[in-house]
């Protein structure tokens, strides 16, 4: 009797714990200013909980995430959470690829030495393009190719012969980025919370707001290897930040005094490289039409237009990309 009671109590407890883990994830965020120094200049930036980059949301597939945000900053804001949500398989299920030994967020972002509100206000006032950033960052650090950033380089210490799941997020404002790790292939397994057919590649191309999960196997000689990112941009008239951010993968089994190898990254204007990569991405369900709507009821045409001149300059004639006035 006694033991039976305990068993059912344990069962209830188990169901509660299970229910709690599976059903919802709760977060409380405080938006506030914090002081950071990058590229030898110091300023206050708006952060979540004082962190740069911000925190990561973690949940199991099917969960509901509740985020309670307290705005302690100076401005009225909206928050977009792009990509920094790690979704784990439901309990009892697994990834459609070998379980990685470790998981590492790789947040690609950018840094302006100026207050970003000044950049925004000037951009809105002139109607041109916003001033380009002074650096890109990997997990908040520009990396040692930038002036006075030797110590501001993200380092990932790895063990040999392990599989790392890189959760890569492009959190820059406007640029598509190329990203690669020297001597290591990446196997892309998911993008924007959908599994893909695994593709092995030397580099990835990732759009602003996009997230991409890639497996990295540490099967190289112990040593140091750069991971690096830079922009893909074809319109030379619209300026872009053409700098390169780096981080270092360091094997903890030695070779850490050697200078890191640099990866192959396609050049800024390599459209073939960008589109060969995007074109190779296929849904895990590719080839099956299950779940794909087949009846089109409404067609939507969308166009985008960007001026390369400041509105202060006289624009004589403007056509949209469809050739309309």
Residues that bind ligand NAG (CB under 6 A): 75-76, 114, 118-119, 122, 131, 160-161, 242, 253, 267, 269
- Measured CA to CA, the distance from residue 57 to residue 77 in angstroms comes to 19
Q: Residue 242 Cβ, how far from ligand NAG at the closest point, in Å?
A: 4
Residues 6+ apart with CB under 8 A from 298: none
- 181 closest CA partner among 251, 233, 87: 251
- Residue closer to ligand NAG (CB basis): 111 or 190: 111
- Residue closer to ligand NAG (CB basis): 52 or 232: 232
Tell me phi and psi for residue 81, to 5 degrees. -105, 105
Q: Residue 163 Cβ, how far from ligand NAG at the closest point, in Å?
A: 12
- Residue closer to ligand NAG (CB basis): 161 or 194: 161
- Residue closer to ligand NAG (CB basis): 159 or 258: 159
Alpha-carbon separation of residue 101 from 28, 54, 162 (angstroms): 29, 24, 6
Q: Residue 129 Cβ, how far from ligand NAG at the closest point, in Å?
A: 10
Q: Residue 56 Cβ, how far from ligand NAG at the closest point, in Å?
A: 28
Q: Output helix, strand, coil percentages for the chain, rounded to the nearest 5.
A: 15, 35, 50
- Measured CA to CA, the distance from residue 19 to residue 35 in angstroms comes to 40
Alpha-carbon separation of residue 317 from 67, 253, 258, 271, 323 (angstroms): 47, 63, 57, 29, 11
- Residue closer to ligand NAG (CB basis): 119 or 284: 119
- Measured CA to CA, the distance from residue 96 to residue 241 in angstroms comes to 37
Q: Residue 219 Cβ, how far from ligand NAG at the closest point, in Å?
A: 7
Q: Residue 74 Cβ, how far from ligand NAG at the closest point, in Å?
A: 6
- Measured CA to CA, the distance from residue 64 to residue 270 in angstroms comes to 40
- Measured CA to CA, the distance from residue 85 to residue 73 in angstroms comes to 23
- 118 closest CA partner among 109, 126, 107: 126
Q: Residue 49 Cβ, how far from ligand NAG at the closest point, in Å?
A: 21
- Residue closer to ligand NAG (CB basis): 160 or 280: 160
- Residue closer to ligand NAG (CB basis): 2 or 75: 75
């Amino acid at each position: 009797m006694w033991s039976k009671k305990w068993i059912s109590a344990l069962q209830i407890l188990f169901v509660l714990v299970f229910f709690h883990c599976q059903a919802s994830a709760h977060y409380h965020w405080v938006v506030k200013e914090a002081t950071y120094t990058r590229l030898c200049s110091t300023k206050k930036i708006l952060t979540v909980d004082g962190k740069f980059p911000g925190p990561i949301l973690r949940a199991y597939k099917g969960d509901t995430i509740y985020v309670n945000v307290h705005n302690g900053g100076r401005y009225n804001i909206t928050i977009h959470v792009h990509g920094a949500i790690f979704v784990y398989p439901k309990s009892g299920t697994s990834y459609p690829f070998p379980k990685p030994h470790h998981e590492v967020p790789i947040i690609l972002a950018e840094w302006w030495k100026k207050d970003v509100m000044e950049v925004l206000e000037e951009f809105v006032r002139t109607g041109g393009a916003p001033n380009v950033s002074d650096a890109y960052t990997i997990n908040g650090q520009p990396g040692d190719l930038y002036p006075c950033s030797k110590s501001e380089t993200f380092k990932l210490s790895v063990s040999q012969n392990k599989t790392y799941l890189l959760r890569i997020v492009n959190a820059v404002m406007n640029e598509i980025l190329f990203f690669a790790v020297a001597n290591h292939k990446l196997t892309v397994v998911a993008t924007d919370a959908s599994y893909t057919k695994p593709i092995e590649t030397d580099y990835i191309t990732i759009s602003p707001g996009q997230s991409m999960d890639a497996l990295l196997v540490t099967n190289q000689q112990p040593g140091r290897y750069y991971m690096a990112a830079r922009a893909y941009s074809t319109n030379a008239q619209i300026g872009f930040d053409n700098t390169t951010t780096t981080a270092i993968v360091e094997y903890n089994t030695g070779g850490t005094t050697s200078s890191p190898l640099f990866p192959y990254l396609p050049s800024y204007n390599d459209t073939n490289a960008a589109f060969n990569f995007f074109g190779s991405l296929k849904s895990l369900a590719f080839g099956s039409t299950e779940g794909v709507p087949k009846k089109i009821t409404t067609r939507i045409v969308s166009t985008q237009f960007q001026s390369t001149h400041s509105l202060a300059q006289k624009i004589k004639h403007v056509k949209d990309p469809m050739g309309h006035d």
